[in-house]
Amino acid sequence: MSRYGSRIAALARQAERDRAAVELADADTEAAREYLREGAGQAIWWYVEARTGERPVAFSTAEFAAIERAMNDWLECYTRCYGVELEADFTVRQAAELLLETRNVVDTAQLLTGVPERRRRTAGADQ
* Each residue's pLDDT tens digit, 13-44: 999 999 999 988 878 999 999 999 999 999 99
DSSP state of 83: T
The Cα 124–Cα 31 span in angstroms is 34
Average pLDDT over residues 116-124: 68
Average pLDDT over residues 9-16: 95
**pLDDT at residue 122, rounded to an integer:** 55
The Cα 110–Cα 116 span in angstroms is 6
What is 91-122 written as a DSSP string? -HHHHHHHHHHHS-HHHHHHHHH--SPPPPPP
Residue-wise pLDDT for 82-102, tens only, equals 999 999 999 999 999 999 999
Number of H helices, E strands in the chain: 6, 0
DSSP state of 37: I
Residue-wise pLDDT for 36-75, tens only, equals 999 999 999 999 999 998 888 889 999 999 999 999 999 9
**pLDDT at residue 127, rounded to an integer:** 47
Rounded-to-5 percentages of helix, strand, coil across the chain: 65, 0, 35
Q: Which residues contact 15 (CB under 8 A, 6 or more apart)?
A: 39, 43, 69, 70, 71, 73, 74
DSSP state of 26: S
Other Cβ atoms less than 10 A from the Cβ of 111: the count is 16
